[in-house]
């Protein structure tokens, strides 16, 4: 007695599934007929021009030198000339600045005028070396 009931249930499920599928197919085909077509694809074009491109990046920040040096002079005075460029590599003994030696030259000339007071063999100007 259970076999005929099982057959009836299976046939009922197949019949309901078929009806549901037919209804869904009709709705889909109706939508496909009334639906608006997709808009055409947008295409952008331009003329190719050859250019030299240098990659750059603008940024704000701070820098710390990995190698540096503190320079101190043995004599004081007014700087007359700066002989180096900032960031330039220099070797030991390279002249970095020249001091104004007008006062020292006047003192040297005064010493030369008075031969009894000592030697006039001082340097004519001072240079700072590292």
Beta strands across the sheet bearing 79-82: 79-82, 95-99, 127-129
Which is nearest to 128 in space by CA: 78, 68, 89? 78
Q: What per-residue confidence (pLDDT) applies to 121?
A: 45
Which is nearest to 76 in space by CA: 130, 128, 120, 124? 128
What would the pLDDT profile of 82-103 be if each residue is shown by its tens digit? 888 888 888 888 888 888 888 8
Percent of the chain with pLDDT over 70: 85
Tell me what the pLDDT averaged over the chain comes to.
Answer: 80
Average pLDDT over residues 105-111: 84
- Of residues 4 and 15, more confidently modeled: 15
Cβ neighbours for 98, distance < 8 A, ≥ 6 positions apart: 79, 80, 81, 83, 125, 126, 127, 128
Q: Is pLDDT above 80 for 78?
A: yes
Q: Is pLDDT above 80 for 43?
A: yes
Q: Is pLDDT above 70 for 77?
A: yes
The answer, as to whether pTM is greater than 0.75, is no
**Least confident piece of the model among 7-11, 27-31, 54-58, 73-77:** 73-77
């Amino acid at each position: 007695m259970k076999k005929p009931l099982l057959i009836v249930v299976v046939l009922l499920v197949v019949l309901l599934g078929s009806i549901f599928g037919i209804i869904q197919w009709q709705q889909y085909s109706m939508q496909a007929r009334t639906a608006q077509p997709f808009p055409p694809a947008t295409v952008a074009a331009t003329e190719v021009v050859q250019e030299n491109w240098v990659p750059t990046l603008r940024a704000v920040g701070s820098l710390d030198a990995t190698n540096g040096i503190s320079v101190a002079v043995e004599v004081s005075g007014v700087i007359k000339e700066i002989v180096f460029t900032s960031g330039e590599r220099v070797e030991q003994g390279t002249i970095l600045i020249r001091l104004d030696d007008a006062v020292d030259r006047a003192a040297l000339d005064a010493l030369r005028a008075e031969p009894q007071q000592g030697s006039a063999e001082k340097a004519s100007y001072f240079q700072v070396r590292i």
